[in-house]
Amino acid sequence: MNTQSLALIKQSIKTIPDYPKAGIMFRDVTSLLEDHQAYKMAMGLFLERYRDQGFTKVVGTEARGFLFGAPLALELGVGFVPVRKPGKLPRETIAESYELEYGHDTLEMHVDAIKPGDKVLVIDDLLATGGTIEATVKLIRRLGGEVAHAAFVISLPDLGGEQRLANQGLEIFKLCEFE
Ligand code: PRP
Ligand code: ADE
């Protein structure tokens, strides 16, 4: 991968200390989205990594995963499946609960969004503890989908998410890391 592009992507991400709670260094992907060049480079790197790999669905998690997952699904020519916080999806859903770096939550997916044998790529803006994507992977597998790849703009490896997802059999692709 082009190291200049990766440096530009990392530089475009602002850090907000003590948000949303004291002690959290919040890595804010909205500043990347505001920078057309950085956003386009990030999408280009995801596309380069995942095109022609046989994926049949892209799954993105609410809310920031939608910002990368939906455009990537369009470029790959496959459907996009949103994983949402409780009570947001109108049809029949399945749910998984999980812990966050600063709280806990539940995620839901439409039961008919993934078909048995779907080859699924999971994407989110950021990997911290891995709880969000572990719950997402459980939802996909409960519906018979195959998932072995997860992509992120940002990884925070000190929080253990990479190891947690490796334990679930996932190969991780990330564009940058922060402590
Ligand atoms: C953030 C981020 C990831 C998740 C990462 O989302 O966008 O989805 O936390 O944390 P984890 O690896 O410890 O699970 P958040 O739940 O804050 O929701 P939002 O995107 O709706 O703000
Ligand atoms: N989600 C979980 N931890 C985060 C962090 N440190 N910055 C931004 N989003 C997050």
Evaluate whether 113 touches 56 at the Cβ level (below 8 Å): no
* Ligand 2 touching residue 173 (CB < 6 A): no
* Minimum CA distance residue for ligand 2 atom 6: 26
- Give 68-89 pLDDT, tens digit per residue: 999 999 999 999 999 999 999 9
The edge-to-edge listing of strands for the beta sheet with 79-83 is: 79-83, 57-61, 119-127, 146-155, 171-177
Give the number of the ligand closest to the Cα of residue 135: 1
Q: Is residue 100 predicted with pLDDT exceeding 80?
A: no
- Give 15-69 pLDDT, tens digit per residue: 999 999 999 999 999 999 999 999 999 999 999 999 999 999 999 999 999 999 9
Ligand 2: centre distance to CA 173 (Å): 17
- What is the set of active-site residues? 64, 101
Angle between helices 3-11 and 36-50 (to 10 degrees): 130
ipTM field: 0.97
Claim: this prediction has a pTM higher than 0.90: yes
Give the number of the ligand closest to the Cα of residue 28: 2
